[in-house]
Chain A
Amino acid sequence: MTTKELEKKANEIRQEVIRMFVAAGSGHAAGSLGMADVFTALYFKILTHDPKRPTWKKRDRLILSNGHICPVRYAAMAHSGYFPISELKTLRELGSRLQGHPERTRYSGFETTSGPLGCGLAQAAGIAYAARMDGARFRTFCITSDGEHDSGNHWEAVMFAGKNKLSNLTCFVDRNFIQSDGDTEDVMPLEPLKEKYEAFNWHVIDIDGHNMEEIINAVTKARMESEEPTVIIANITPGKGVSFMEDLPEWHGKVPNKEEAGKALEELKVAAKEIRKKKEDD
Chain B
Amino acid sequence: MSTQVFKKDIEKVPSRNGYGEGLVVAGEKDENVVVLCADLTESTRSHLFQDKFPKRFIEVGVAEQALATIASGMANYGKIPFISSFAVFSPGRNWEQIRTTICLNDVPVKIAGSHAGIIVGPDGATHQMLEDIAIMRALPNMIVIAPADAIETKKAVIEAAKNEKPTYIRFSREETPVFTTEKSPFKIGRAESLWETKSPQVAIIACGSLVYEALLAAKELDNSKIETLVINCHTIKLLDEQAIIRAAKTTGAIVTVEEHQITGGLGGAVSEVLARNFPVPMGFVGMPDSFGESGKPSELLAKYKMKSVDIAKAVKRVIKLKTS
Contacts and interface: CB of A to CB of B under 8 A. Distances in A.
A143 B164 CA distance: 28
Given A119-B65, A119-B69, A126 B106 contact: no
Given A104-B105, A126-B71, A153-B97, A160 B66 contact: yes
Interface of A: 63, 103-105, 111-116, 118-119, 122-131, 133, 152-153, 156-157, 159-160
Contacts of B77: 126-127, 130-131
B75 to A, nearest CB: 8
Contacts of B106: 104-105
B101 interface: yes
A125 B76 contact: no
B101 A130 contact: no
Contact of B66 (A63, A111, A115, A153): A153
Contacts of A127: 73-74, 76-77
Interface stretch (B56-64, B126-134, B216-224): B56-64
Contacts of B135: none
Contacts of B74: 126-127, 129-130
9 contacts: A103-B104, A112-B72, A112-B101, A119-B69, A127-B76, A130-B73, A133-B34, A156-B61, A156-B66
B70 A129 contact: yes
B70 A159 contact: no
Given A111-B76, A130-B74, A130-B78, A157 B100 contact: no
B79 interface: yes
Contacts of B66: 122, 153, 156-157, 159-160
Contact of A105 (B56, B70, B75, B104): B104
B225 interface: no
A63 B76 CA distance: 11
Contact of A159 (B55, B61, B78, B97): B61
Given A126-B72, A126-B77, A131-B77, A156 B60 contact: yes
B272 interface: no
B30 interface: no
A159 B104 CA distance: 26
Interface in B73-103: 73-79, 81, 96-97, 100-101
B52 to A, nearest CB: 16
A104 B75 CA distance: 13
A227 to B, nearest CB: 19
A123 B104 contact: no
Given A112-B101, A133-B55, A125 B70 contact: yes
Nearest to B106: A105
Interface of B: 34, 55-56, 58, 60-61, 63, 65-66, 69-79, 81, 96-97, 100-101, 104-106
Contacts of B60: 156, 160
A57 B101 CA distance: 21
B100 A115 contact: yes
A128 B74 CA distance: 8
Interface centre among A63, A124, A125, A126 (most CB of B within 10 A): A126
SS class, residues of chain B in contact with chain A: helix
Nearest to A126: B73
Given A112-B73, A119-B97, A160-B66, 7 more contacts: A119-B69, A122-B66, A126-B75, A127-B76, A128-B73, A153-B97, A156-B60
Nearest to B72: A123
A127 B58 CA distance: 13
Contacts of B100: 113-116, 119
Contacts of A128: 73
A277 B34 CA distance: 55
Given A105-B104, A112-B101, A156-B63, A129 B58 contact: yes
B299 to A, nearest CB: 37
Given A105-B104, A157-B70, A116 B96 contact: yes
A119 B61 CA distance: 16
A156 B61 CA distance: 9
A111 B70 CA distance: 14
Contacts of A126: 69-77, 81
B206 to A, nearest CB: 34
Contacts of A159: 61, 63, 66
Nearest to B77: A130
A111 B81 CA distance: 18
A280 B58 CA distance: 49
Given A113-B105, A152-B65, A153-B65, A123 B96 contact: no
A34 B101 CA distance: 26
Which of A114, A125, A153 has most B Cβ within 10 Å? A153
Contacts of A130: 34, 73-74, 77-79
Nearest to A128: B73
A112 B58 contact: no
A152 B104 CA distance: 21
Nearest to A121: B69
A-B pairs, top 5 by smallest CB distance, nearest first, are A126-B73, A122-B69, A156-B66, A123-B73, A126-B70
A122 B67 CA distance: 9
> Counting chain B CB atoms within 10 Å of each CB, which of A122, A128, A129 scores highest?
A122
Most buried by A among B63, B70, B77, B96: B70
A112 B105 contact: yes
